[in-house]
């Protein structure tokens, strides 16, 4: 066993340590290990920042949808008011042309009897113009509805509300894994958590966060009892560690429908919901999605 001597010399004092080669290697290994952990932590911080920044695109898309819906709603309200005014004028002109006709009856044929009361001058021309205005307004309303339909359909299939009540006990990304193999990818002390965990009491209801179809419902190995909902061709949500399920495969669900209840099935250290949002089969951070509906309602000027 070889001894190594380490000396630190100051102007007024000298410190000397004698260490075995094994001890020196152990110390150097610890220093290298802590340096590696620091580098991993810095790298993860940079990676997490990039992931958070990537969700700016999602928020931008949401803001564009909000502006489009708000604009469309304003147009729809203006068209409704215009149509109501035109219909009122249309009804008044019908009464002038034929006071005895019901309010909802169509325009009567021109009177042929010599004793009939002639219509006011210009009434038929005004009625013709009003009918043209009504037709134009109806076409504009159809354009607004066609414009809003795909936006509202896309919104209804976008996860945008919390899946359950409780507190977030574990976030998305790298964490100290409670299992060597849990909801993480990789083995060892550190694991990659593919969703968020929300903890509460047993049997807390769990709701769908958007419209979609149940494509998996049952026992999911390490996830325990769980449900997977497909919202679009490239977007799904997963609800795991449940106590019991209320849905089955092939069932259509709407945002807010109860999928089951919170439990601790599978690899779970306590009662909680493991919630994932997947895009193109890859797990993404669910947290930005939890605030989308609140932001949408706020942008529309409605209480959240």
Tens digits of residue pLDDT in 288-301: 898 887 777 676 66
Pick the CATH number of 165-290 from 3.65.10.10, 2.70.70.10, 2.170.150.70, 2.60.40.1840: 2.70.70.10
pLDDT given at position 49: 46
pLDDT score at 229 = 98
For 26, half-sphere exposure in the C-beta direction (CA atoms, 13 angstrom radius) is 5
- Rounded average pLDDT over 189-200: 82
Average confidence (pLDDT) over 251-271: 92
Task: Write down the pLDDT at residue 291.
Answer: 81
pLDDT for residue 106 is more than 60: no
CB-based burial label for 202 (10 Å; 0-12, 13-18, 19+): exposed
The pLDDT confidence band at residue 219, using thresholds 50, 70 and 90, is very high
Whole-model pTM: value is 0.60
Alpha helices in the chain (DSSP H): 21-97, 123-156, 287-290, 292-299
Residue 118 has pLDDT above 70, yes or no: no
Average of pLDDT values for 259-285? 93
Mean pLDDT of all residues in 152-167 = 87
Kindly state the average pLDDT of the residues 171-200. Answer: 68
Average the pLDDT over 190-206 and give the result: 87
Greater confidence (130 vs 60) lies with 130
Q: Is the pLDDT of residue 16 over 70?
A: no
Beta bridge partners of 260: 206, 245
Split at pLDDT 50, 70, 90, the class of 43 is low
Residue 177's pLDDT is: 59
Nearest CA among 254, 149, 258, 160 for reference residue 203: 258
Q: What local confidence, expressed as pLDDT, does residue 226 receive?
A: 97
**b/e per residue 52-86 (b: at least 16 CB within 10 A):** eeeeeebeeebeebbeebeebeebbeebeebbeeb
Given a cut of 60, is residue 115 above it in pLDDT? no
């Amino acid at each position: 066993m070889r001894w190594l001597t380490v000396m630190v010399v100051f102007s007024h004092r000298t410190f000397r340590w004698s260490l075995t080669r094994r001890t020196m290697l152990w110390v150097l290994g610890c220093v290298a290990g802590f340096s590696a952990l620091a580098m991993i932590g810095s790298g993860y911080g940079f990676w997490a920042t990039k992931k958070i920044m990537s969700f700016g695109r999602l928020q931008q898309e949401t803001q564009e949808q909000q502006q489009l819906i708000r604009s469309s709603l304003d147009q729809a309200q203006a068209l409704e008011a215009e149509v109501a005014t035109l219909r009122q004028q249309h009804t008044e002109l019908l009464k002038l042309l034929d006071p005895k006709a019901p309010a909802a009856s169509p325009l009567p044929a021109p009177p042929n009897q010599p004793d009939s009361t002639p219509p006011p001058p210009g009434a038929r021309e005004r009625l013709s113009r009003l009918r043209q205005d009504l037709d134009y307004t109806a076409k504009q309303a159809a354009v607004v509805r066609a414009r809003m339909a795909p936006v509202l359909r896309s919104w209804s299939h976008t996860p945008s509300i919390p899946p359950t009540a409780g507190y977030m006990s574990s976030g998305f990304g790298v964490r100290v894994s409670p299992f060597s193999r849990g909801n993480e990818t990789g083995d060892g002390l550190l694991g990659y958590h593919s969703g968020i965990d929300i903890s509460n009491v047993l049997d807390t209801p769990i709701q769908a966060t958007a419209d979609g179809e149940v494509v998996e419902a049952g026992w999911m190995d390490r996830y325990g009892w769980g449900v997977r909902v497909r919202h679009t061709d490239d977007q799904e949500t997963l609800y795991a560690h449940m106590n019991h399920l209320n849905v089955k495969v092939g069932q259509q669900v709407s945002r807010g429908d109860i999928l089951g209840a919170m439990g601790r099935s599978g690899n779970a250290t306590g009662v909680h919901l493991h919630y994932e949002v997947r895009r193109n089969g890859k797990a993404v951070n669910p947290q930005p999605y939890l605030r989308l509906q609140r932001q949408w309602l706020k942008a529309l000027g409605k209480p959240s």
